[in-house]
Amino acid sequence: MKNQKSEIKRQVCSRRFTKHDGQAILLVILVIGGAMLGATTIAGFLINIQLQQAGDVANSAKAVFAAEAGFNCALYDNTHPTSIPPVDSKCFNIPIVDYVGRINLVNGAYAEVVCSTDDTFAASSLVLCKNENAKFILSKGTSGTTKRSFQYAIP
């Protein structure tokens, strides 16, 4: 048994390494390291995007509420179309320009609302929300740089 161990030790110690024996292992280490570096970079980028989105929750909520307020205003105008002729709307607090109604909220958010006869919202299909031909409402709420929108088909 002792002779067998010493024989194995002698064989291992007497092996001669060439110049090229270390290149394969070095190449494997570099490839694995590069793959890990690439995966870490991509993961860091994705986490950065998620942190940016999570940090803007307050503006997102304000934009959603602004869009909802604009939608409610347009729906009210559509169901109560008896505005006095010089006034385009009972609800929007800024005069309607190019069929775009705007409502400003006290928290700095605002909504821009358009009503249309079709769901493309092309310039030729835009109408006032109090118009009986209005079939679709698009409300875009904005707070800071965050925008949220609602689209509704009037039954």
DSSP 3-state of 139: strand
Claim to verify: residue 70 and residue 122 sit in the same structural domain: yes
How does pLDDT run across 8-61, given as a tens digit for each residue?
A: 666 666 666 666 667 888 889 999 999 999 999 999 999 988 887 776 788 989
Would you state the pLDDT for residue 81? 67
Domain count for the chain: 2
How does pLDDT run across 67-120, given as a tens digit for each residue?
A: 999 999 888 888 876 655 555 566 776 777 788 888 899 999 999 999 999 988
Instruction: Report the amino acid identity of residue 72.
Output: N
Claim to verify: residue 46 and residue 68 sit in the same structural domain: no
DSSP 3-state of 84: coil
Claim to verify: residue 16 and residue 31 sit in the same structural domain: yes
Q: Cα(109)–Cα(67) distance, rounded to whole angstroms?
A: 9
Range of the domain at 42: 2-55
Would you state the pLDDT for residue 93? 67
Q: Cα(126)–Cα(98) distance, rounded to whole angstroms?
A: 9
Claim to verify: residue 69 and residue 119 sit in the same structural domain: yes
Contacts of 100 (CB under 8 A, 6+ apart): 112, 113, 114
